[in-house]
Every structure is written in C-alpha cells, then in structure tokens.
Structure 1
Amino acid sequence: MLHEHAYTLLQRFADRLDQIIVGKRKEIELTLLAMLSGGHVLLEDVPGVGKTLLVRAIAKGIGGSFGRIQFTSDLMPADITGVSIYRPNSGEFEFRPGPILSNVILADEINRAAPRTQSALLEAMEERKVTVDGVSRRLPEPFLLLATQNPLHFEGTYRLPEAQLDRFLMRISLGYPSVEQEVRLLGLQEQHPLERMHPVLLAEEVAAMQRQVRTVTVDDSVKRYMVAIADASRRHSGLALGISPRGTLAWMTAAQASAYFKGRMYVLPDDVKAVAGAVLPHRLLPSAEARMSGRTAEELVRELVLGTAVPVSSRAAAGGAS
C-alpha cells in the first residue's frame, strides 16, 4: 500500500525543500503536514525570507499546477475565480479559469485586498469549489493554498476576519536564517534555486496520502487530552476567545498528518504537541489584560499544553508497538 512508501517519499521531499529553503526544516515539515491534512497555511513574515520560493518549490515537487494571486486594493473576486467570456463567433460563453483553479496557490499579501475579495476565497478554501455565473466548479486535487501577509506594515491593508483566519489550518513564520545558514544560502546562488527541485511526488499520490491521513488512528485518551486543552482555553483568564470545536478538529487532523509523516498510523501525544504552536495561536484571542501585560497567544498555548496532564498510555500506542 502507498503508506508503506509514504515515509520515504515525504522525507525525500522535505530533504529537497531543505536544500532550497535553507535552515527551515521545521517550517518545511509543518507546511507538508498542512498539505497532507488538506489544510491551508498563512505565512506571516517580513518580505524576502523565502515564502514565495517555498510555495513554488512545493508545486514543482508534486508536479502540480501553480497559481499566484497578487492581492491589491483593486483586485476583484472574478480575478480569483475566473470569468465567462462571450464568443460572438460561436454565440456561446467560454469560461476562463482564474488562478484559484490550480493545485498550489500563492495568495500574496492577502490582507491588501478588500474584504469582499478576501471572502471570495472562503468558498474555495472550505468547499473546494468556486461558483461563477451560477455554475459550480470543483477545484483540482490536491488543493493547497498558502497566503502571505506582512505582520509589520498595516497601511493600506485590511484585517483578516476571524472567520477567514479560522479557515487556515496553520499560521507559520519562516524568520531570518542564522549567519551560517545565510552564508550557505549565498553559496547556492550559481543557479536558480527552483532548478534544483524536481518532482518527488505525483499530485495523485498526494491526494491518496491525504485520504490515508484521515484513517490514522486517534485513541480516545489522545482525544480527551486535546479536548481538555481546548476546554481549558475557553476558561482561561488570559483568553477572551478559546479554541472552538472546529479548531480541535483541525488540530486532530494535523496530528494525524504528523504521525503519518513519521511513518505511523496512530497518533501519539507528541504529535499533538508538535503541531499545537502552528495550529492553535491564530484561533485564540488574548484578553485585554493579557495583551497589556505583553502575553501572546503563542505563550498562552504553551501554558495550556504544559498545564494539561499527558495520557500515560493509549491503545493506539500499544498497538503500534506490538
């Protein structure tokens, strides 16, 4: 079966990406987990740290189609979904697909578009389809959307609504490389980085992996562990908004992808903890008192995870060890 070879293929894919996006192995693996989960990623970082390169490299690595949407204040929903054009010669309308109808999408500077245009992504992200002139069209499989936004300069931008933030499985920041990593990066510029990337997976294989990820076993003890953390977030004095049930479901899916990526068909508490920092903070709203004291959502997530007892054992772990 495919899962027997998935570990080798996924590690090879991560190794290839690591040669292009230098020194960001953790962030690369998280992005691949989002891909396996069928989720989407918000890359929140300053310009020039490799966000666009990462998205292009993933598209090339799965041999899939790539679409780029440069969000601006005058971008219209039809610029994303596509339009129907009347052909006088035939007397019929011809659909011209927008960039959203691709396997891997880069939604660049998503917060620079007006809310109406941002909302055009919601149907695609949630329903995996777009509707143009009353006709619904399915998006290709696999479908992965990675949006970028600059967290520092907000002039001329529109804040992403909570409903749209919640559609992103993960929020990731690449950050600057270390001095040694940047020196290594400079030594790799004899050819364009994407020239070193060749397809590692087929798009059909990624779609099959996504289906298998949903079959990864999550023991009841692990589910209770996650729900205990979610429940604690809803009662935490430092949070005005805790983890929703949809957030818990997304968290479990990411944990299943983490286990699958590591070659297991069962989830351990370590998988749950490994993805918490990318899946949960953007779903939380610190209270006014917490913000005034400088506490961030990331810090509060760590506090919640550390403050919840980890299940000592589970039938899933026991079954995997036998």
Structure 2
Amino acid sequence: MQVFTRRIQQTGKSTYIVSLPREWVAANNLKKFDQVRMIPVSTGLLITVDSEAKMSEAEIRAGRSDTPAEAARLFFSKYLEGYAKIRVTFPEYSPQTMSFLKERIRRWLVGVEIVEESSTEMLAQCLPMHDKLPVKLSIERMGSITSNMVVDAINSVVEANKSLAEEVISRDDEVDRFYHFVTRQLNAAVRDYSVLNSLQLEDPAECIAYVLVAKSIERAADHAVNICKRALHSSSGIFDADSIVDISEDVVGVFKSSLTALLGLSIKKANETMTLSERVAVKIEQLQTLPPRKKEKADSQATLLTVLGSLRRIAEYSEDIAEAAINIASRKVT
C-alpha cells in the first residue's frame, strides 16, 4: 500500500489545508468541486470518497450454459459485496432461471426489490437499511429465532410431531436472510466508516468478529434443521427422551448465555459460557457412549446419535460466539 506525506498549509487565521495526491485523485475519478469525506478515527483522519457511488450498480451476464443455481450464486455475491443495484441479463428468454432467481431472492435476502423486468433482463434494487437495523439487533433476532428453533426441533423428535418439524425447517429461511443481510452490512462497513458508525460499531476489526458470530448462529440453526429432518424420517421416535430434553435445555442455555455475553460485551459472562459448554460436552459424550438398550430399535439409536451430534455442534458454536465476545470486549478495555 502506497503512503503519501503532505505538509499542512495555513490560510488566514483558522483554516488549514492539505493537498490530495494526484494519483489518488485520478484513481478515484475526482475533479474540481467534488466532495470527499474526512472521518476522525482512533489512529488519525481518514479521507475517503463516497463508497455508495462506487458501488452503485453491478451487472451479471448469465451464460447459456449457466444453471439457475449458478446465476443465483453470482447474484448473491454482488448483494454481499454491497451493490445498490444488480442487473442480470440473459442471452435468451429463460423463465426457469428467472423464476428460480426471484424465489431465492424472496426467501434469503433482505431489502431487495425487483424494479425492472423483461424477457431477458432483470434489475434489482437493494434498499439501504444501515440506520434501521444495526448489526447487534440483527444478531439478537437471529439468536432468538435460532434458540426457539432448537427447542421446537427437540420437541418434534420427542413427540414425533412431523408438522412441527416442517414448520421449524421453514424458519431457517429467516435466519439465512439475516445472515446474508449482516454480511452485506459488515462488508459495507469495512469500506465506509460512515456505515460503520450507523451500525453502531467503533472499529473495523469488529466486523470480522461479527461475521463469524453471524455464521455461527446460522450454522446452529442448520443443526436445528438437521434434527427436524431426522424427526421427519424416523419411524420409531427416540429412546430416553427425558435425558435428551435435559441436555437440550442445557445447550439452549449455553447458546443464550453466549449471546448475552456478546450483546453485553461481558468477558466474565463469556468465560462462564465456555465453562458451561465444557460441562454439557461431557454429558453429551456420556450419553453417546452408552451401549444400545435391548428394546431400542436401530432407527431410534440413529436418531439419538444424530440429535446428540447436532446439540454438541450447537454448544461448540456457542463457544465461538463467546470467544468473539471476549475479542471485541478486550479491545474496548485496552
């Protein structure tokens, strides 16, 4: 990275001037009377251009051999980068791809509207929502949805309630929507300090930690879905349901504790969460190593191991969230 040095000039009694490097001005296509942003940061003064103008519109040209899923992945990548508009053009009329893309946008993305559409082109507008939905609020909502998913997933297995299992699976879309939205916000915050401030964050380094937190919550929700899928395919229910319910309550408690530590930036609470998770892991391992009962069917044993495996992973993701809380809080202490 090139470093420029300038001397401070003074004009009049109270105005100080610093010239901008010619190379930087040219690289950002700036001209006379254009505005730049000057943002005080902990290490000095940041001078930047309007990032929203630079990220105004992205264009995706779908190829004839591209599958609907491939076109959707390209669209999602541009959404996560932070573009305000995303234009998708197709070489020919492709109703299957367009329908697939619109369905994925509706299910998994926040603040996206199709504003123009023809037989070979689609334009999506991504609405700015930085000031309306700060990162911590999104994380809190993701965590609340996920913890309820885990509770209901266990109930669906214990009660052999397939309709409840299907309903829990459908909730995973909402967690995915928040995950993609948080990632988009944090990508924008890394580029633009004004977005960082609107998200109520102080340091770009926090963005990395919060992306990891959002991913951990999203993966915990995926394991709730795994439990529900097992409930849908199990024909014999689950043996020793009381033990499973007890352990699941412990895991949900650990998960909620990690979120409390993160949202409150409490190092003490985060360390308590780590200790609780270790205790839960011991309980899960003890139950996993028990030999199958004589009356227990193979299907029931497979369900038990699947549920225990997912609960263990959720506890591990909770530890990751607690660790992120410690990393963020320790920076503020120093």
TM-score, L = length of structure 1: 0.24
TM-score, L = length of structure 2: 0.24
Give the structure with the higher percent helix.
Answer: 2
Larger-gyration structure (1/2): 2
Higher relative contact order (CA 8 A, sep 6+): 1
